Structures are given as C-alpha cells and as structure tokens.
Amino acid sequence: MRSAITPDSQLFNTPVQYFPSHPTWAHFHDALSSSLFRRALLNSTIVAGSVTLLSLAIGSLSAYALGRFRFRGKSFVLYLMLSMTIFPQIAILGALYTMFSGFHIVGPIDFPKLYDTPWALVFSYMIFTLPFTIWVLTSFMRALPGDLEEAAYVDGATPLQVFWKVLLPLIAPGLVTTGLLAFISAWNEYLYAVSFLQSPSHYTVPVAIVSFTGSSGNAFQFPWGTVMAATIVVTLPLIVATLVLQRRILAGLTAGAVKG
C-alpha cells in the first residue's frame, strides 16, 4: 500500500519512510486507465467464474455419487482424485501445451486448438480445482444423515430431486468454501496464463500486471507504483469476499471434519 501511494521520485529514498510525505493516487489512476488492465480484469473474472461454476457443478454431482452410493472401486476413484493434486503445475505443462496447440487423434477426430483462448486456462485450472472440490464435498455428503434421503425417496423423489432439493442446500458451507478457494486459485494463477496466452486481449490479471511498462514506454523501466496499485485493486475483491463469507467458510472448513 505504501508503494502504491508513494510518488515515483520517493520510492527508493533512504531512510525508508513508512508513510510518504506527499501521497498520491496517480498510480491507481494509471492502473485503472489502462485498457489492457481493464480487459484483463474482465478476462480473469470470466475464467475464474467459469472454473468455479464448473468445479462446483461437476464436483457436487461426483461427490453425491461417491458419498451416497456404493459401488466397486469407489475408494480407488477417491484416492486417484487426491493423487492428482500432488503433481506440480510444471510437471504437466508440456503435455497441456501440446494438447492445446492442437494435435491429431487417431481417425478423423482432431482435438480443437485451444491455445491463446480462455478455455485453455479453464480446462487446465480444473485439473487442480476439481479433485480438491470432489474430495471436500464427498466428506460433506458422507456426513449427512441417511434418514433425510430415505424420507425423500418415500415421498416419491427421484435421486436427482434428492440431490437438488435435499442434499445440496445442506452442503452450502462446503460449496462456498470450495467455490471461493477455486476462484482464488484461478484468479491468481500465473504459470499457465503466461504459457497459454499470447494475445494481449486475452491476458488475465497476473500477466497484464507483469506487462506494465513505464510512462515513457520503455520496457526496461518497471513502474513499481502502478504495479503495487494494480495488485491492491485485484486483491481487494478477494478480501471483501472472504470477509463477507467468513462464517460460511469457517463452517465449511470444520463441518466435514467431524463425523456426526
């Protein structure tokens, strides 16, 4: 925050002043007046929102099947999902790059070229957010009493109606927790974004911030004040969302931990 409101001429003064003598909001103006940054905010919102919605939709249905039904290989599927989260992002970067660049599949089917599109980020982010979502929501599904489900079946409800009208509202804290964590993970991700995006119009916030140049347009002049201001702008929504949803987040982090 100090660097964001400090004039460029005072950023590297010694001794360090923890509050500038002449604070300025010019860095915030420079960041918000950048069309690249505004477009990146929209792109990040679309990508992070899509990842969150898809993770919750697929994860909740998968958790319903894994948590409420008995079938052979269920434990193997759960541990397979968990094992997918231990791989570092860099380990599968090359394979994803080849896949998104478009490769020929045996026969007349070709994998669509997703390189330099937001969908490349959506699919790659879900590799890490979806297993975590499924694992957490499965613990919530298992903790729910079976009497609720049986009563709904007695009243003539279908499995889909039981999931949508009975179980889903009861795991709302888990949905909020996993949804917010998935959104934060997709919002802040940099490695895949800088690897799969080439056009500035497709940049997300982390890539756009790194692409800032100085007032003279010199690539070697790094605008620290503008970067700090942009960082505050992109962090503020996450802080507000966490403060607003903190009760549900706390309930989500603890409700599935105790089997009742």
CB atoms within 10 A of CB 84: 16
List the Cα angle 127/132/133 in 5-degree steps.
100
Q: In sequence order, what are the residues at sequence separation of 6 or more whose Cβ sits closer than 8 angstroms to the Cβ of residue 105?
A: 111
Which run of H or of E encompasses 177? helix 172-188
Domain that holds residue 45: 3-7+25-255
Nearest to residue 227, comparing CAs of 18, 20, 28?
28
The total domain count for the chain is: 1
Could you report the per-residue pLDDT of 91-129, keeping only the tens digit for each?
Answer: 889 888 888 887 655 555 566 678 889 999 999 999 999
DSSP at 221: -
Could you report the per-residue pLDDT of 181-232, keeping only the tens digit for each?
Answer: 999 999 999 999 999 999 999 999 999 998 887 555 555 567 888 889 999 9
Q: pLDDT > 90: what percent of the chain?
A: 34
List the Cα angle 108/106/124 in 5-degree steps.
100
Identify whether 260 is part of a domain: no
Identify whether 150 is part of a domain: yes
Identify whether 216 is part of a domain: yes
User: Residue 156 corresponds to which amino acid?
Assistant: G
pLDDT of residue 41: 95
Identify whether 15 is part of a domain: no
Instruction: Supply the CATH number for residue 173's domain.
Output: 1.10.3720.10
